[in-house]
Amino acid sequence: MLTFYHSPQTRSTRILALLRELGALDRVEIRRVSIPRIDGTGQSDPANPHPEGKVPLLVHDGVTIRETTAIALYLTDLFPAAGLGPKVGESRRGAYLSWLAWYGAVMEPVYVLHAAGFEHPIAQATFRGIPEVEAALSEALADGRPWLLGDRYSAADLIVHSPYGYFPEAIPADPKVRDWIARCMARPATLWAAEQDSAAMAA
Ligand SMILES: N[C@@H](CCC(=O)N[C@@H](CS)C(=O)NCC(=O)O)C(=O)O
């Protein structure tokens, strides 16, 4: 049994969109939980088994999977027929894992530190900065490929483009990167998840 703990308009919205992309919504129980939000609203929810009280969280037959990128990889492996992530043995698997890990370990920290106004030589040495993040995306898309892995949309696109949905002011200037972000944002599953969350927040 799969249970997904979700809070609208948070990092877990990406997993909601991914479940839709995977055609797996009918295989998962979605439990909506509250979280304490940066704006002071919300509160921790005793119904949320995440060890840090966060979302997203996936529980599969009693096993807890946390961290967005781990959940994305877990789900694309669990539902391989959807083709949202290269399988073990496929040549693009390495690039896929690299993008997911780079997102969680580099790209998100870079934008979080920037938003916090934090600069430090150790942070710069560890993560580099926004110019390097943008350069990595430009380099990946320079050959005109529509998606990070080539001609096939994957969960790497879904996750890596996601900060630009929350912070459009951070969208890089490179036209190829901008077009890629627009393509990612236009995915029906992404639009659907945003609509679901808007309705949940309004209710
Ligand atoms: N690195 C984690 C971050 C998860 C995270 O920080 N989620 C926020 C929502 S966007 C949260 O649950 N915050 C509640 C809290 O800080 O208690 C992931 O990507 O899964």
The DSSP code sequence of 20-37 is HHTT-GGGEEEEE-----
Same domain, 163 and 126: yes
Does any ligand 1 atom lie closer than 6 A to the CB of residue 34?
no
Range of the domain at 163: 93-187
User: What is d(CA 196, CA 142) in angstroms, rounded to the nearest whole number?
Assistant: 34
CATH number of domain containing 34? 3.40.30.10
What are the tens digits of pLDDT across the range 105-117?
999 999 999 999 9
Check residue 169 and give its pLDDT. Answer: 97
CB atoms within 10 A of CB 126: 13
Does 114 share its domain with 136? yes
Which residue's CA is the closest to the ligand 1 atom numbered 2? 67
Contact 75, 16 (CB under 8 A): no
Residue with the smallest CA separation from ligand 1 atom 1 is 67
Answer yes or no: do 182 and 196 share one domain. no
The predicted structure's pLDDT at residue 107: 98
162 Cβ below 6 A of ligand 1? no
The pLDDT of residue 195:
98
Q: Both 73 and 135 in a single domain?
A: no
| Integer Cα distance of 198 and 9 in angstroms | 8
CA of 56 to the centre of ligand 1 (A): 7
In 3D space, the residue among 189, 202, 194, 160 whose CA is nearest the CA of residue 177 turns out to be 160
CB 74 within 8 A of CB 4: no
- Fill in the DSSP letter of residue 103: I
**Structure tokens belonging to residue 72:** 């994305």
Q: For residue 167, what pLDDT is reported?
A: 94
Q: Do residue 120 and residue 169 come from a single domain?
A: yes
> Does one domain contain both 143 and 63?
no
Q: Is 53 in the pocket of ligand 1 (CB under 6 A)?
A: yes
Number of domains in the chain: 2
Ligand 1 pocket mutation pick from 55, 64, 66, 158 by most atoms within 8 angstroms of CB: 55
- Ligand 1 closest atom vs CA 52: 17
Q: Whose CA is nearest to atom 9 of ligand 1?
A: 10
Q: What pLDDT is attached to residue 163?
A: 98
Distance 54 CA to ligand 1 centre (A): 5
Check if 68 has its Cβ closer than 6 Å to any atom of ligand 1: yes
Spans of the chain, pLDDT less than 50: none
Nearest ligand 1 atom to alpha carbon 67: 20
What CATH number is attached to the domain comprising 115?
Answer: 1.20.1050
Angle at 74 between CA 72 and CA 76, to 5 degrees: 65
Is residue 164 located within the same domain as residue 194? no
| pTM of the predicted protein model | 0.97
Q: How far apart are CA 103 and CA 81, in angstroms?
A: 24
Residues 76 and 111 in one domain: no
Q: Is 42 in the pocket of ligand 1 (CB under 6 A)?
A: no
